[in-house]
Structure 1
Amino acid sequence: MLVVCGEALMDVFVAGDTSTGMALDARVGGSPFNVAIGLARLGQPAAFFGGLSRGALGERLAQALREEGVHCASLARLDAPTTLGLVELDAQGVPSYSFRGQACADRLLEPNALALLPAYISAVQVGSYATVVEPIASTVRALVLRERGRCPVCYDPNVRLDVEPDIARWREVLHWMMPRCDLLKLSEEDLALLRPGLAPTSFAGEALAAGVGLVVVTSGAGGAAGWSPVGEMQVPAHPAAVVDTVGAGDSFQAALLAWLGESGKLQRDELHALASAEIGEALRFAAAAAAITCARRGADLPRRTQLP
């Protein structure tokens, strides 16, 4: 069982003017939440570990997980509201976010909730603002420390400065995670924030030296590149008729994990031994999944039958 830990929220889009104001379109979301659903749609057994409100919005999030086949025994239902992420799109469909999440359920996951996790965990995926806000950040660290060495730990920073504006906090988490994760994926935008002026190749070298097995840097329309201790590969972006790019990075990560799982490579030793050709196959599969998501409104991730 691949366990995805982090936030679950409602992405709120402006759907147009009304006679008295504006219409809003609320959709289930949150980067880790999207990855869990993406994995299930791609045929991978996945569990979501996070805090959900007991209210109507939390129940809608839980319903979406159940309907997609995500295992829900590790959900912690809390008497707290659901985070809202207000999404604005520019002319190219690139989103900007403004979060309303202080004291909301997804941030309140305590370390004692680790007791909810399944007995067998094949891999752990963590990332986004769940790694920098408390108390869930302490829970993420406890999970990583507990599972490190027993299964692969996968990490996507997915920096959200609207939630935590202190970039030093995000850098501290990256520094802590690098010796403790086996797969590290981040966007070129996140790299520019976390390590300004550092080329992806140089960053990959640092991460591999710290003990990461597979490093991937995505560049949107510029494609993606990946490095292991024994191989490296760069692939172009998959062609897409872009509606918006909401969830594209989550789709890429879910598909990357799915390819590794299908290929028997989602294991610590295997990640460190990925050859260049294998990295290329994984990146092309993930890029194809991201392109499908970009052609849809919001974080609507593909199913396995829609990919090669």
Structure 2
Amino acid sequence: MILCAGESLIDMVPEAGAFRPLAGGSVYNTAIALGRLGEPVAYLWPISRDGFGDILLRPLAEAGVDTGLCPRSDRLTTLAVVSLRDGEARYSFYDEGSAGRMLAPEDIPALPDHIQAIFAGGISLVPDPCGAAIESLIGRNHAGLPVMLDPNIRPFFITDPAAYRARLDRLLAMSDIVKLSSDDLEWLFPDLAPEEAAQQVLAAGPRIVLQTGGASGARAIWAGGAVTAPAIRTTVADTIGAGDTFNAGVLASLRRQGLLSKAALARISADQLQAALALGAQAAAITVSRPGANPPWAHEMPA
């Protein structure tokens, strides 16, 4: 079972001159996508007892995501007000003192034996105490479990860039797979070309660096070189949840290929990476074809 640890929130999405509340959050979306793809998945993040908490729990249950590790909280749910510009999503966060924001390192439980891998990232890495809690989770478990990290960097959410970069440095050293968009790489290494930036990340410790660039497709860089997968042509409704779904497709493929262990990832082949990128691209193409973070179910995926 894959454990997804990181933010859930309510996306307030523009609709007919008002806002429609939709369950979302980078890591939450990946958990939902994994469950819809038929993968065994658990989720770890505080869920508020407010009305929005019920909205968040419903899709998790429908997708078969195990929420046994999620503490319930009387604090409020984080809200992200979404604006769309040429189909691209932009966010304003209402997060101070929220249920997720106040997750602390001492709240992190011991993981059950059936957890095979950890996926983490998103804005949950930025503020404390929740950022320290996710770092603690990875620090306690990375020696035995493979870790995939997607920082999904939102510069406007980062109030202390130096502290955030220091945390990312520590997390990269403990991660096996790191996914970075072209925007992420530009923020991390503004003076380097994407290929050089990816090599810098690889040198920090991960075995595999995944690069995504929307219509330009996806690329994996590892000790064996690089492989690519083209983006799949589709009519784009919006990009909400696209990268999160891509992550789920990659993880699903790796698990189905028997590669979710540190030993297996150490000997991964180009063909195996190509298959993982392809499934990620297929899943993401369905998500962007419809509004909001609405990942595909297994029966919607190409045979």
Do both proteins adopt the same fold according to a TM-score greater than 0.5, normalized to the shorter chain? yes
Q: Contact between 1:229 and 1:272, CA under 8 Å: does it hold in 2?
A: no
Give structure 1 regions of 4+ aligned residues with deviation exceeding 6 angstroms.
Answer: none
1:108–1:135 Cα contact (<8 Å) kept: yes
Residue of structure 1 aligned with 2:124, choices 110, 127, 130: 130
Residue 15 of structure 2 aligns with which residue? 15
Q: How many aligned positions are there?
A: 302
d(CA) in 1 for partners of 2:202, 2:267: 12
Given that 1:223 and 1:236 are in contact with CA atoms closer than 8 Å, whether structure 2 keeps it comes out as: yes
Shift of residue 162 of structure 1? 3.0
Distance 1:111 1:211 in 2: 24
Q: In 1, are the aligned partners of 2:169 and 2:204 still within 8 Å (CA)?
A: no
- Residues 248-294 of structure 1: CA deviation (Å, up to 9, x unaligned): 00000011101101111122122232222222221121111111100
Equivalences for 1:1-308 in 2 at 5 Å? Answer: 1-17=1-17, 23-91=18-86, 93-115=87-109, 117-308=111-302
Give SS of 2:45's match: strand
Structure 1 length-normalised TM: 0.94
- Alpha carbons 2:33, 2:245 under 8 Å: kept: yes
Q: CA deviation at 1:206?
A: 2.4
One-letter amino acid of the structure 1 residue matched with residue 125 of structure 2:
T
CA shift for structure 1 position 169: 3.4
- Cα deviation, 1:117-165, whole Å, max 9, x if unaligned, reads 4343200011011111111111111111111111101100101223224
CA distance in 2, matches of 1:272, 1:119: 22
DSSP 3-state at the match of 1:232: strand
Q: Give structure 2 stretches of 5+ with no counterpart.
A: none
What's the Cα RMSD here? 1.4
Aligned match of 1:20? none
Q: Which moved more, 1:219-228 or 1:192-201?
A: 192-201
Q: What SS does structure 1 have at the residue aligned with 2:39?
A: coil
- Asked whether the equivalents of residues 10 and 21 of structure 2 are also in contact (C-alpha less than 8 Å), the reply is yes
Structure 1 residue 234 displacement after superposition: 1.7
Give 5+ residue unaligned stretches, structure 1.
18-22
Q: Is the 8 A contact 2:186 2:194 kept in 1?
A: no
> Structure 2 length as normaliser, TM-score?
0.95
